Amino acid sequence: MVVAPLSAAILIIFIIAKYNYLAKKAIIDKGGDPSSRNKYRYLDVGCIVISIGVGLAISSLISTLSLPPKTLNLLTYATLLVFGGIGLVLAHFIRNKFENK
């Protein structure tokens, strides 16, 4: 019971560490500075979290409607996915606006 979650957590940590290592190595190979890789990292996360929060709020409003349970579940997940995508697109446009100044 404990082995599967523990091995999944170790695998996730390994994949993240390997990705970070390879990304830093590629940046150094191109002659860049790995410490200034993503200046707007928190902007991206903030936009995504705020948009998912708005999606949750709208999902809770949708849940007050008298709809069949399957439709209600589908609308809840669809709302979260749509607003998460909107947050990603919004973060992209905001990042491009700051980088092009």
The pLDDT of residue 37 is: 57
- pLDDT at position 89, please? 92
pTM: 0.60
What are the sequence ranges of the domains in the chain? 1-33, 38-101
Read off the pLDDT of residues 39-65 as tens digits, 9 standing for 90 and up.
677 888 888 899 999 999 999 898 888
Q: What pLDDT does 101 receive?
A: 67
What angle do the packed helices 69-99 and 41-62 form, to 10 degrees?
Answer: 150
**pLDDT the model gives residue 96:** 85
How far apart are alpha carbons 53 and 91 in whole angstroms?
A: 15
Residues in the chain, pLDDT under 70: 36-39, 101
